[in-house]
């Protein structure tokens, strides 16, 4: 057993009344790889942001002891001075600068403000050797792949004399080979006195390299496993990750399932920029009348891309596959065509893709439905108010009036505006992407109730969600999506958090096997 | 009285610019010793500023999309030059020339629009290129020289008056007065009709006395203008053209699906696209329309000068852009009205005219106009912030 390098005691962090972290204590030993696992939104990233000073001292409760000294970081610079470096999921590199320039950005090698480029490049080359990256330090960041960029980030951390390296989902965007290289590097760094905290969804990787695994759920530490003492079996970890009591957080619904309304066959979509990358690969699924079907999967599994590419080909290129509605093949080539066919998509990102924030409620609700309130292209502004007011009442929208700008509404009410906008188009198939993201518990319940009402009206509802309990509570069937493919379909009885995770893991192994053939 | 205050406050942003315009008018009426509102000067104000107001109308649509068009001044010159060559050198009839000039404007606008909407090249760059291209070509086809004169009928659009100048009541032009009364009646009827519609829908309407006050003020303004024009040469043809454009574009932006789509595109392009707005087509049409209105302004400018010169229309784009921003349009798109842009244009016009009468040099005029632009936008931004606080 080594000495303790970091001790976080009783960390509590609130966001406007909601506790994201509730008395979390974490102990990290010298020269180890400490894995942090948990569901989306469990509080892993929040904890690391507290540690690295993104949330300054005083905005959270509890104490941080680094190398036995109590720390009160004001910002990231502060924590970096102590040797704590965080590498975020979205890399913070500048594509138009060279590797060397990126490594020393904000930390330039200089004499009196004049940069010594020769020394910079020489030092950068040394760091690149350390991380095992064979690239010229003068190469532009934009010209190397994500895997290599990740290594540059680590080289940058090393340049700051890092003692504790925090990596948030470092392998999320990497392929297997690159991932393995990165994990090996972490083990190598360990022997050179660099401790790592690794946040990851990929349990097999965690199993492979971690010395300790801490499981976080709902802002609390559930379990800490030690290599050699505890079993690192995936099942064990998954159980700790998701084992939450499911109470009646979801309104009751008597499901009456009718005929098939919507069917997608062999839907394949390519990445908008990378020609040979399939983002959705031969996905097939169906939804019946009165049914709520879920899409479960990890972040980046391709669920949003699948739904969005169906809605007027709003995502990706080279779409292929067939779409049927009520047994007849239909084409959804443009957004308008989709709306006319009664297939609508509610975005996961309502502020950027769902609403015109500077416009008022009625304008937003009517935007896709202007034909309904017009005659030969001329609007009836009074009819607009009547229609919008109808939805304000139906969905219990809380606002000062229909003329209120949507940017001043709460998240839940904004979501109701986006829902209204699609309900007004009288759809038969609703593709709802994270319909409850970022809204409070009460509003969530209201949204669930609306979804149930839609199903009761015989509409076909697809619900994409990263919160497994929500899917389990709401859906009649759950499709598990992984790496752009439908990994499996579980009915209400079969579906559980364990079985979903299991399906993902099995599918990942399958893909791996397929690739190695 | 309280009610009046709150009504006034809630329309502060909308009315702010009108109040500023009235204030500037009164100020210069005093500073110029009453010359500003003399019949002849009112008439001049209209003729001098017609081109800016036409351009501001089209520019507002561009600004609503979150962009600008820098090429309009050069397009004004180019269309004027081509028209001059058609009429002076080739002897083409006036009607055909105007028709072809407008077509050329549409083609130029579509040319810009293609690159902006479909090739996704920033509008700033495309129209900056257009500014150089059309100015350069103007000088090429005019050989750097001025082409003149034009037929009377071509000048009429810019500098002519409605017929019937001999029919007078006392010293007043009868037609102008009759037109003023007719417009007043149309305004009152349409306002009352819209009020009745709202009542039919059971919507809340402002108190009747407030509507009456609004009617009284606007009818007074219309008839004051009519009398002023009647006291001089009657109604300028270009005023009729302007009124038609203002009504048409107000209608398009406020009451049509296309107008809504422009606002949505400027407010949030991605959300608009995902709501079924054909954003590329809307962008293309907005710039094509700007080309058309630039050509119209080009015809008016050439007619007023009675010549096509290589230097025509220099800096017109800046006047048009400034008008929109003074009139409350947002540089990031999605906010602004035609009426606002027109009022902005009038503020600039009155400033120009008033200062010229006072004998203020062009150097000072520019500096003062710049300051007014800055102040107007500062005022706009600060009232917006307060609005959010509520």
How far, rounded to the nearest angstrom, does the alpha carbon of residue A199 sit from its chain's CA centroid?
A: 13
Cα–Cα distance measured from residue A308 to residue A314, given in angstroms and rounded to the nearest whole number: 6
Cα–Cα distance measured from residue A354 to residue B36, given in angstroms and rounded to the nearest whole number: 50
Check: CB of residue A412 under 8 Å from CB of residue A447: yes
Q: Is residue A343 part of a domain?
A: yes
Residues A463 and A491 in one domain: yes
Q: Is residue B51 part of a domain?
A: yes
pLDDT at B326: 92
Of B200, B257, B276, the CB nearest to A335: B276
Cα–Cα distance measured from residue B276 to residue A280, given in angstroms and rounded to the nearest whole number: 23
Asked whether the beta carbons of residue B335 and residue A352 sit closer than 8 angstroms, the reply is no
pLDDT for A366 beyond 80: yes
Residues A227 and A272 in one domain: no
Q: Is residue B98 part of a domain?
A: yes
Listed residues A176, A210, A242: the one ending a domain = A242
pLDDT at A40: 64
Q: Is residue A251 part of a domain?
A: no
Residues A287 and A218 in one domain: no
How many CB pairs below 8 A link A and B? 82
Q: Is residue A281 part of a domain?
A: yes
Q: Is residue A437 part of a domain?
A: yes
Which string of b and e fits B59-69 if b means at least 16 CB within 10 Å?
bbbbbbbbbbb
Residues A99 and A220 in one domain: yes
Residues A400 and A495 in one domain: yes
Percent of chain A whose pLDDT exceeds 70: 97
Of B260, B268, B274, the CB nearest to A357: B268
pLDDT for B21 beyond 70: yes
Residues A306 and A414 in one domain: yes
**DSSP H or E run through A379:** strand A378-379
Q: Is residue A250 part of a domain?
A: no
**Strand-strand pairing, A343-346 and A292-296:** unpaired
Mean pLDDT of A359-371: 95
Residue with tokens 């099942």: A235
- The structural domain count of chain B equals 1
Q: Is residue A201 part of a domain?
A: yes
Q: For residue range A82-103, what is the model confidence (pLDDT) as tens digits?
A: 899 999 877 788 989 999 999 9
- The structural domain count of chain A equals 2
Q: Is residue A248 part of a domain?
A: no
The torsion region of residue B66 among left (phi > 0), alpha (psi -120 to 50) and beta comes to left
Check: CB of residue A317 under 8 Å from CB of residue A338: no
Q: Where are the beta strands (DSSP E) in B21-62?
A: none
Q: For residue range A446-484, what is the model confidence (pLDDT) as tens digits?
A: 899 999 999 999 999 999 998 888 899 899 999 999 989
Residues A238 and A314 in one domain: no
Residues A389 and A459 in one domain: yes
For chain A, how far is it from start to end, CA to CA, in angstroms? Answer: 42
pLDDT at B165: 77
Q: Is residue A426 part of a domain?
A: yes
DSSP B281: H
Mean pLDDT of A392-414: 88
Closest CA to A31 of A61, A59, A72, A3: A3
Measured in angstroms, the CA of A97 and the nearest CA of chain B are apart by 24
pLDDT at A161: 87
Asked whether the beta carbons of residue B271 and residue A339 sit closer than 8 angstroms, the reply is no
Check: CB of residue A431 under 8 Å from CB of residue A310: yes
Check: CB of residue A32 under 8 Å from CB of residue A194: no
Per the model's pLDDT, the better-predicted residue between A179 and B250 turns out to be B250
Judge whether A115 is closer than 8 Å to chain B, CB to CB. no
Residues A132 and A225 in one domain: yes
Sequence-ordered list of residues with C-beta below 8 angstroms from that of A287, at least 6 positions apart, any chain: A260, A261, A262, A263, A293, A429, A460, A461, A462
Whole-number Cα distances in Å, B311 to B55, B144, B303: 17, 9, 15
Residues A187 and A284 in one domain: no
Which range, of A370-374, A444-448, A489-493, B119-123, averages the lowest pLDDT? A444-448
Asked whether the beta carbons of residue B255 and residue A381 sit closer than 8 angstroms, the reply is yes
pLDDT at B389: 34
Cα torsion angle, B323, B326, B332, B334, sign: negative
DSSP A143: G
Cα–Cα distance measured from residue A504 to residue B142, given in angstroms and rounded to the nearest whole number: 73
Percent of chain B whose pLDDT exceeds 70: 95
Q: For residue range B129-170, what is the model confidence (pLDDT) as tens digits?
A: 999 999 999 999 999 999 989 999 999 988 899 987 778 888
**DSSP H or E run through B286:** helix B279-305
Q: What is the mean pLDDT of chain B?
A: 91
pLDDT at A255: 80
Q: How confident is the model at residue B5 (pLDDT cuts 50, 70, 90)?
A: low
Check: CB of residue A310 under 8 Å from CB of residue A345: yes
ipTM over 0.85: yes
What is the domain-level CATH number for residue B62? 1.10.3470
Q: What is the DSSP string of A220-265?
A: EEEEEEEBTTB---HHHHHHHHH-----S-S--------SEEEEEE
Q: Is residue B376 part of a domain?
A: yes
Q: Is residue B10 part of a domain?
A: no
Judge whether A272 is closer than 8 Å to chain B, CB to CB. no
**Domain interval for residue B342:** 33-160+236-380
Q: Which residue of chain A has the CA closest to B252?
A: A378
Residues A90 and A150 in one domain: yes
pLDDT at B384: 66
**Domain interval for residue A148:** 4-242
Q: How confident is the model at residue B269 (pLDDT cuts 50, 70, 90)?
A: very high
pLDDT at B385: 59
Q: Is residue B220 part of a domain?
A: no
Residues A294 and A428 in one domain: yes
Q: How confident is the model at residue B86 (pLDDT cuts 50, 70, 90)?
A: very high
What is the domain-level CATH number for residue A474? 3.40.50.300
What is the arrangement of strands in the sheet containing A84-87, beginning at the earlier edge strand?
A84-87, A164-168, A195-199, A33-37, A212-217, A220-226
Phi, psi at A439, each rounded to 5°:
-125, 155
pLDDT at A276: 84
pLDDT for A506 beyond 80: yes
Q: For residue range B180-239, what is the model confidence (pLDDT) as tens digits?
A: 999 999 999 999 999 999 999 888 888 889 889 999 999 999 999 999 999 988 999 999
pLDDT for B387 beyond 60: no
Q: Is residue B346 part of a domain?
A: yes
Listed residues A242, A272, A298: the one ending a domain = A242
Q: Is residue B185 part of a domain?
A: no
Mean pLDDT of A159-188: 86
Q: Is residue B216 part of a domain?
A: no
């Amino acid at each position: 057993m080594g000495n303790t390098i970091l001790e976080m005691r009783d960390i509590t962090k609130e966001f406007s009344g909601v506790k994201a972290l509730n008395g979390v204590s974490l102990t990290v030993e010298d020269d180890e790889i400490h894995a942090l696992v948990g569901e989306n939104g469990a509080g892993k990233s929040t904890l690391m942001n507290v540690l690295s000073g993104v949330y300054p001292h005083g905005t959270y409760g509890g104490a941080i002891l680094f190398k036995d000294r109590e720390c009160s970081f004001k910002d990231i610079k502060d924590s970096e001075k102590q040797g704590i470096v965080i590498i975020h999921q979205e890399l913070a590199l500048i594509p138009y600068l060279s590797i060397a320039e990126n490594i020393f950005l904000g930390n330039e090698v200089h004499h009196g403000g004049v940069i010594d480029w020769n020394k910079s490049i020489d030092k950068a080359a040394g760091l690149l050797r350390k991380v095992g990256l064979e690239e010229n330090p003068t190469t532009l960041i934009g010209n190397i792949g994500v895997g290599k960029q990740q290594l540059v980030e680590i080289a940058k951390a090393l340049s700051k004399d890092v003692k504790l390296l925090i990596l948030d989902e470092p392998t999320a965007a990497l392929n297997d080979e690159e991932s393995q290289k990165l994990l090996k590097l972490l083990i190598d760094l360990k022997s050179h006195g660099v401790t790592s905290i690794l946040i990851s969804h990929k349990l097999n990787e965690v199993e492979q390299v971690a010395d300790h695994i801490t499981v976080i759920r709902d802002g609390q530490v559930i379990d800490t496993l030690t290599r050699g003492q505890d079993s690192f079996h995936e099942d064990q970890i998954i159980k700790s990750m998701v084992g939450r009591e499911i109470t009646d957080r979801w309104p009751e619904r008597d499901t009456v399932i009718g005929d098939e309304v919507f069917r997608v066959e062999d839907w394949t979509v390519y990445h908008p920029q990378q020609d040979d990358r399939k983002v959705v690969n031969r996905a097939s699924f169906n939804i019946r009348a009165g049914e709520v079907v879920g899409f479960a999967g990890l972040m980046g599994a391709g669920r949003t891309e699948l739904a969005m590419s169906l809605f007027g080909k709003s995502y990706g290129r080279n779409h292929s596959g067939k779409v049927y509605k009520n047994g007849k093949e239909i084409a959804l080539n443009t957004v308008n065509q989709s709306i006319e066919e009664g297939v609508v998509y509610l975005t996961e990102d309502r502020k950027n893709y769902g609403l015109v924030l500077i416009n008022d409620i009625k304008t937003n609700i009517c935007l896709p439905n202007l034909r309904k309130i017009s005659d030969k292209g001329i609007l009836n502004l009074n009819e607009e108010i009547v229609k919008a007011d109808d939805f304000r009442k139906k969905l219990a929208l809380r606002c000062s009036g229909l003329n209120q700008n949507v940017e001043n509404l709460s998240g839940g009410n904004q979501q109701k505006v986006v829902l209204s906008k699609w309900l007004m188009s009288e759809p038969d198939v609703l593709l709802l992407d994270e319909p409850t993201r970022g809204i409070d518990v009460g509003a969530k319940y209201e949204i669930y109730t609306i979804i149930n009402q839609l199903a009761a009206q015989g509409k076909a509802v697809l619900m994409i969600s990263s919160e497994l309990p929500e899917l389990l509570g709401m859906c009649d069937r759950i499709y598990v999506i992984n790496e752009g493919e439908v990994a499996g379909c579980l009915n209400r009885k079969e579906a559980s958090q364990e079985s979903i995770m299991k399906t993902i893991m099995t599918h990942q192994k399958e893909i791996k096997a397929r690739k190695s053939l | 009285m309280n009610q009046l205050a709150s009504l006034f406050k809630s329309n502060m942003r909308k009315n702010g610019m009108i109040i500023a315009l009235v204030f500037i008018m009164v100020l210069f009426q005093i500073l110029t010793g009453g010359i500003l509102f003399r019949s002849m000067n009112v008439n001049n104000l209209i003729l001098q500023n017609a081109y800016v107001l036409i351009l501001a109308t089209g520019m507002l649509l561009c600004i609503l999309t979150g962009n600008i068009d820098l090429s309009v001044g050069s397009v004004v010159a180019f269309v004027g030059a081509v028209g001059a060559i058609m009429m002076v050198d080739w002897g083409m009839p006036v009607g055909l020339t105007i028709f072809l000039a407008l077509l050329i404007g549409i083609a130029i606008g579509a040319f810009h629009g293609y690159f902006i909407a479909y090739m996704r090249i920033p509008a700033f760059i495309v129209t900056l290129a257009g500014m150089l291209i059309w100015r350069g070509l103007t000088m090429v086809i005019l050989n750097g020289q001025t082409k003149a004169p034009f037929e009377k009928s071509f000048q009429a659009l810019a500098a002519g008056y409605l017929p019937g100048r001999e029919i007078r009541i006392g010293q007043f032009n009868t037609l102008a007065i009759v037109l003023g009364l007719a417009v007043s009646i149309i305004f009152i009827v349409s306002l009352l009709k819209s009020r009745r519609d709202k009542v039919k829908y059971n919507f809340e309407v402002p108190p009747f006395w407030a509507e009456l006050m609004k009617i009284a003020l606007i009818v007074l303004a219309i008839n004051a203008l009519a009398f002023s024009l009647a006291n001089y040469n009657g109604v300028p043809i270009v005023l009729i053209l302007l009124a038609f454009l203002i009504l048409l574009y107000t209608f398009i932006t406020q009451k049509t699906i296309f107008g809504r789509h422009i606002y949505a595109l400027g407010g949030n392009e991605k959300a608009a696209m995902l709501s079924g707005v054909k954003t590329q087509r809307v962008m293309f049409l907005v710039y094509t329309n700007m080309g058309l209105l630039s050509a119209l302004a080009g015809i008016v400018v050439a007619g007023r000068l009675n010549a096509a010169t290589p230097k025509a229309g220099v800096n017109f784009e800046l006047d048009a852009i400034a008008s929109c921003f003074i009139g409350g349009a947002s540089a990031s798109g999605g906010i602004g009205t035609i009426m606002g842009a027109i009022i902005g244009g009038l503020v600039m016009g009155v400033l120009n005219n008033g200062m010229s009468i006072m004998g203020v040099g062009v150097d000072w005029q520019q500096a003062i106009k710049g300051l007014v632009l800055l102040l107007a936008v500062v005022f706009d931004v600060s009232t917006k912030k307060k609005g959010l606080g509520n």
